[in-house]
Amino acid sequence: MYVPSYFVGSSSYWHKVGEKAFILASVYGPPTFFLTITCNPYWAENIAWNSATSQNQKQKKTLMDNSASISRIYHIKKKKLLSWLKETKLLGEISAYFGRDEYQQRGLPHTHFLLWTDFDVTNIHKLNQIISASFPDNDVVFSNIDKMSDLYALTLKIQVHVCNKNYCLDSNGHCRFQFPYAPSNETVFRNKKFYWMRSPNSQWVVPHCPQILMRFRAHSEIEAIPSDQAIGYMVKYVAKNAESHEISMQDYHKYKGNNYLLNNKLYSYGANLTVPASFCFSYLAGYKQQIISPTVIILSIHLPDERWISTKPNTTEEEAAKKMEASLSTPQIYFNRPHTEECDSLTICEFNSLYYKVTRNEKDDSADENNQLDFKKREKEAVCSLKTVPFANLELFCLRLIFMYFAARSFDDFLSFEGEKFSCYAEVAKKIGLIRDNDRYEISMQEAVNQRRSPAELRFMFALLCKNGGPFNDLLNKFKEQLKDNGQSDESLMKYLGQMFINVHADIPKELNNYPDFPYFYHSPCNFWGKR
């Protein structure tokens, strides 16, 4: 038993959400800003709501006890923040964004945003106008003395990092967020990271946008994303699994001998999850844990005779066959698109990004007497991508490549090219030039690179591909720079690759025999290419 992706909050759910963020990166490039905004329990609205609900109660509630009001007000504030950023274009024209809500056991919600804008992050002067890591001075954008004093008070109260041994300090007393930072007279870009201008008394100030701080009066943190390699870490961070205590629960069930509960993934997910009251209210109120714009659609394809459907337990083969006949798969819906000059030339991704099928009742899932379905044009164009398929299945792999670049009205249409008929999709793909002998490994790696996957994820995929027959030297020569971390040497890369081969239970290639001292880490450092 496993927890499926439609179960909100599960690891499969966040894996699917993370895939959508990577698809945005493949279309719009790396995000421009990484913004975090945290709920302020002392917002005027929260205080007013707490006072109103506590008047008729014997024991007055604290602000943190009003989870409903905190969740409701924060949800409104978050929507206003996005609208305000779009209207003012403070961070540039926003073309896409991805956000994820978190609660971290402490109850106060906060949201991580990835923003794709047209802001030039290489312009240090412009960055200093919107990002500050110091207390305000005479050079700040606000010239009014009242605003200056208000901004100073807000920065001192909200934006100063406070270390805690239970939160960010390791056994040596070092902060994992690297506070305090050294003072600097200017903002510099070094080792693919920005080090912000700081005065000597601002070593503990979190980088923030003064305009956002003044407008929303809540803790925020903003970082410019200067390199492609940062997207992998950022997406992995905003789409990580919910907080749980799986190890302690496993030990408990082993001690009690509850083997059934130990192996029941659905029970383990619910029992291990740490859920604050504010999260419960947000879920019951219908607030989504993640927001994404534009809409991202992942389309599944299949071979003509290998379609999969989901059924309930104890479903007979006859009932499953009837269900399959009564519904259409994504490719079948695409084949039944309107017969217009525009739609005839659209690929499956292009069509689904512009149109959607209207479903008023169950009869709409199948074609009518004229073999037509009802479609409507989307108000805003969506981003569509085909779901990845196993590269070991050559026929399905080649069919996916053909779907990406060509339009058709049936599966059989894909078996012909320039008047010539073929017996399989692999022959068609080779004839067109989409694939050569044994280069599906290179195509898979290149697609991951185009999605701005992190070096750790690429190394994991590299090991999996080589385990399944991929050419080690050819892949390494083509993707060596993408496999490296910032400033990593060739020798260090080879050692990390060796350990990755151990992690995927593959034989160590002979090319790595000269690097025996592999850095040991038990779990794969990536979430998206590991176990699902």
Please provide the size of the chain in residues.
Answer: 532
Residue 144 has a pLDDT of 55
Position 367 scores a pLDDT of: 44
Peptide bond before residue 331 is cis, with ω within 30 degrees of 0: no
Rounded CA-CA distance 210/151 in Å is 7
Q: What integer pLDDT is reported at residue 228 of this predicted model? A: 65
State the Cα angle at 396 between 526 and 377, rounded to 5°: 85
pLDDT at 97: 94
For residue 466, give every residue at least 6 positions away whose Cβ sits within 8 Å of its Cβ, in sequence order, or none: 472, 475, 501, 506, 509
Distance CA 411, CA 331 (A): 9
Q: Which residues of the chain have pLDDT under 70?
A: 1-4, 50-65, 104-107, 138-148, 227-274, 360-372, 437-438, 515-532
Domain ranges of the chain: 1-121+225-293, 125-205, 298-432, 441-512
Question: What is residue 61's predicted lDDT score, i.e. its pLDDT?
Answer: 56
Confidence (pLDDT) at 221: 93
| Angle in degrees, 0-180, between the axes of helices 455-467 and 440-450, rounded to the nearest 10 | 170
β-pair type (33-38, 110-117):
antiparallel
Helix axes 265-272, 246-256, angle to 10 degrees: 120
Rounded CA gap, 425 and 435, in Å? 11
Express each pLDDT in 387-428 by its tens digit: 988 888 889 999 999 999 999 999 999 999 888 899 999 999
DSSP single-letter state for residue 64: G
243-249 long-range contacts, Cβ below 8 Å, gap at least 24?
243/104, 243/105, 243/273, 243/274, 244/269, 244/272, 244/273, 244/274, 245/272, 245/274, 246/272
- The pLDDT assigned to 87 comes to 95
What whole-number distance in Å separates Cα of residue 320 and Cα of residue 312? Answer: 9
